[in-house]
Amino acid sequence: MLQVQWIVGFVDGEGCFHIAINRNEGMSLGFQVLPEFTVVQHKRDVQILHKLKAYFGCGVVRTNHGDRMAYRVRGHDQLRDIILPFFLKHPLKTKKNIDFLKFRDVVLMMDKGVHLTGDGLEKIRGIAGQMNRQTVR
């Protein structure tokens, strides 16, 4: 089993907290908000992705691009009940923690249905646009 601080360090390096906003005509506003936690590795280290999946007890391991594989958690309840509490209790030490906190805000807003209103969707779009930019904020 992986150790907690190893996971924090590895995710500080390789993890990504991302909010995709995709056009989806099936949604009343025409857009779907898709929060996603991913860790991407070369396929030679796919065993580590399976260990992350086993540790968190959720998510999937899939091919990403070419030789790269990804561990991915998209389920709303799994993000809210497993991933968010873990990284709230064991904070990332890099500036990626800022992305995590914005990610958390969006998932908790979605829990209240905020993304289903036009104003809420715009607010989420604004937060998503500030994430994963690798600049000092």
Binding to a copy of itself by residue 18, rule CB under 8 A?
no
Q: HEC profile for the chain? A: CCCHHHHHHHHHHHEEEEEEEEECCCCCCCEEEEEEEEEEEEHHHHHHHHHHHHHHCCCEEEECCCCEEEEEECCHHHHHHHHHHHHHHCCCCCCHHHHHHHHHHHHHHHHCCHHHCHHHHHHHHHHHHCCCCCCCC
Stretch that binds a copy of itself, among 1-9, 16-24, 27-35, 55-63 (CB under 8 A): 1-9
Binding to a copy of itself by residue 6, rule CB under 8 A?
yes
Q: Count the residues of the shown chain that bind a copy of itself, applying the rule CB under 8 A.
A: 27
CB nearer a copy of itself, residue 62 or residue 93: 93
CB nearer a copy of itself, residue 67 or residue 81: 67
